[in-house]
Structure 1
Amino acid sequence: MDVPELLEAASLLVPEKIATENDITVNDVWEYLAHDEWEVALSLLEELGDVHRLPLGLWEALATAAEQMRLEKSAAWCHWRSYETRHGIIRADLTLRPAAEARRRTPISGAGVLRPMWNIGHRTATGEPALDIARLWVELTPLLEPGGRATVRLAPLDPSQWQHLRPGQVITMHEDRSVAATAVVLEVQQPPAISTATPGSSGRP
Structure 2
Amino acid sequence: MNVPELLESVSLLVPEDSATENDITVRDIWDYLVHDEWEIALGLLEELGDGRSLPLAFWEKLADAAEQLRLERSATWCHWRCSEIRNGVIRADLTLRPANEGRRTTPFSGAGVLRPMWDIGHLSPTGGRAVSIARLWVEDVPCLEPGGRATVRLVPLTPSHWTHVRPGQQITMHEDRTVAGTAVILEVHRPATAMTAG
Superposed CA RMSD in Å reads 1.1
Inter-partner Cα distance in structure 2 for 1:190 and 1:28? 32
Higher mean alpha-carbon deviation, 4-13 vs 81-90, is at: 81-90
User: What is the CA distance between 1:36 and its match in structure 2?
Assistant: 0.7
Deviation at 1:9, TM superposition (A): 0.5
Hey, what does 1:188 align to over in structure 2? 188
Using the TM superposition, name which of 183-192 and 127-136 deviates more.
183-192
Alpha-carbon separation, structure 2, partners of 1:83 and 1:58:
13
Q: Are 1:152 and 2:152 an aligned pair?
A: yes
Give the deviation of 1:28 after TM superposition: 1.1
Share of identical aligned residues, percent? 72
Where relative contact order (Cα < 8 A, 6+ residues apart) is larger, the structure is 1
The 1-side partners of 2:93 and 2:130 are apart by 22
Q: Is the CA contact 2:104–2:146 (under 8 Å) kept in the aligned structure 1?
A: yes
Give 1:129's aligned amino acid.
Answer: R
> What residue in structure 1 maps to residue 162 of structure 2?
162
Aligned partner of 2:70 in structure 1 is 70
Does residue 56 (structure 1) correspond to residue 56 (structure 2)? The answer is yes
Q: CA deviation at 1:108?
A: 1.2
Give, in angstroms, the shift of residue 87 of structure 1: 2.5
Deviation at 1:85, TM superposition (A): 1.7
CA contact (8 A) 2:89 2:156 kept: no
Question: 8 Å contact 2:159–2:191 — kept in the other structure?
Answer: no
Count of residues paired in the alignment: 194
Report deviation, 1:86. 2.1
Whole-Å separation in 2 of the counterparts to 1:140 and 1:39: 20
Cα distance in 2 for residues equivalent to 1:70 and 1:159:
31
C-alpha deviation, 1:147, in angstroms: 0.3
- What is the match of residue 202 of structure 1? none
Aligned to 1:105: 105
Q: Which residue of 2 aligns with 1:91?
A: 91
List 4+ stretches of structure 1 deviating above 6 A: none
Gaps of 5+ in 2: none
Distance 1:135 1:52 in 2: 22
Counterpart in 2 of 1:200?
none
Aligned twin of 2:114? 114
**Structure 1, gaps ≥5 residues long:** 195-205
Q: Given residue 83 of structure 1, which amino acid in structure 2 is its aligned partner?
A: S
TM-score (norm 1): 0.92
Deviations 1:116-168 (A, max 9, x none): 11101111111111111110000000011110000000011111111110000
